[in-house]
Structure 1
C-alpha cells in the first residue's frame, strides 16, 4: 500500500493507462489495444481499474465490465507495476520516492514506462544492514533509460540513483534519511 504522497504523484504520471477500442466478436466484447493492435481479453482484466470514455469524460465502469462495453467505444485500463518494481517503490521513503520520480519525469519518462526490473531489495530480510544495487529499464518509445539504484539499509537509509538515457545523457541523484 502506497502512502498518500506516493499515490498523489503516481496519479499524475503520464502513460499510466493503456487505451483500447471495444469491438464485438460473436456477441462478446473484445478489446483492441490502441498502441499495438493486439487483442486484450476481458478475463485478463479481473481486478484492474477500467474507465469508459463517455461524453468526453472518463467514467469508472466498476465490476460489470461487459454491461457497459459497446462496439466502437474507447476504454482505458490503469497500468499495473511488476511485483518487484511495486515493492521497490513501496520500500522507498517518501523523500527518495519523490526525488526518483521527479528526476525520471524530468528526463521525459514515467514510472509506468518500466519494461525491466531487478529489485535487489527483495533479498533484504529483517533489520540486518544490507547494501547492493537494483536495475530498472524504462522505455518512453523515443528512448530508453537505465536506472541503477545503489542502496544501503542499516542505521540510515541511503539511496543513490544513476540515470543513463540512450541519448548518452547521464545524471545522479541521492538521498540519505
Structure 2
C-alpha cells in the first residue's frame, strides 16, 4: 500500500468533512455546519482547501479571500446558500499513530473500524504510546483510542510489539458489549 492508497482510504471515510451552507450577512460570509448547526465566520478558513458543490459535483480549491475560491486558474465567486465542505483534521496523536503502523495493520484497523460504522474522523481521544518510544530498539506497549459516531462509542486498544517480529493486535469494544479482536503478525 503506497501513500496514495492510504490517502484514498482517508478520503473515503464517513464524516471526513464539515459540510454546510454559506450566507452573506452584513457583508460577511458565514458558514452554517449541517451536522452541528453552528455558525462560523468563513474568514476562519482563508488559505485553506475547501470544496464547493457546483454542477452536481465537488470542486476543490483554496479560499484565498472570503467570497472567492481559486480552483487552479479559475476563480469561483460564492453565492448565498452554496454548499461547501472542509476536510476535518485528525487528532494529531492518531495521525502519528496511523503513520507509524505498517500498511497491513493500517488497512486492517481502518477497514474493521469502518465495518463497525465508525470513521477515523470519529476519534475523540487517542493516547499514542508508540510515539514516546521512537529511540527504543524494542518497542512494545498499548495505545488507546476512543471513537464516537453519535450513535455508539468504540474503545480500541492497540497492543504492539516491534522487535524481532512485528505484532499489532487491535481490540475493539463497543458500548453495546460487542467485542472484536484482530491481530497482524509479520516475521
The two structures have a TM-score, normalised by structure 2, of: 0.87
Structure number with bigger Rg? 2
Where structure 2 has 5 or more consecutive residues not aligned to the other structure, the ranges are 69-76
Where structure 1 has 5 or more consecutive residues not aligned to the other structure, the ranges are none
How many Å separate the matches in 2 of 1:154 and 1:45?
43
How many Å separate the matches in 2 of 1:167 and 1:40?
35
> Which residue of structure 2 aligns with residue 80 of structure 1?
89
How many Å separate the matches in 1 of 2:5 and 2:102?
10
How many Å separate the matches in 1 of 2:173 and 2:150?
16
How many Å separate the matches in 2 of 1:85 and 1:129?
21
Describe the shift of the 1:86–1:46 C-alpha distance in structure 2 as closer, same or farther (beyond 3 A): farther
Shift of residue 156 of structure 1? 2.3
How many Å separate the matches in 1 of 2:111 and 2:156?
13
- Is the contact made by 1:48 and 1:78 (CA closer than 8 Å) also made in structure 2? no
How many Å separate the matches in 2 of 1:147 and 1:121?
15
Residue aligned with 2:151, SS: coil
| 1:117-132 equivalent positions in 2, closer than 5 A | 117-132=126-141
Residue aligned with 1:35, SS: coil
Q: Deviation above 6 Å: which 4+ runs of structure 1?
A: none
The two structures have a TM-score, normalised by structure 1, of: 0.91
How many Å separate the matches in 2 of 1:147 and 1:44?
33
Describe the shift of the 1:57–1:110 C-alpha distance in structure 2 as closer, same or farther (beyond 3 A): same
State which of 110, 114, 138 in structure 1 corresponds to 2:119. Answer: 110
Q: Which has the higher contact order (CA 8 A, sep 6+)?
A: 1
How many Å separate the matches in 1 of 2:46 and 2:93?
21
| 1:1-177 equivalent positions in 2, closer than 5 A | 3-46=3-46, 48-64=48-64, 66=66, 67=68, 68-177=77-186
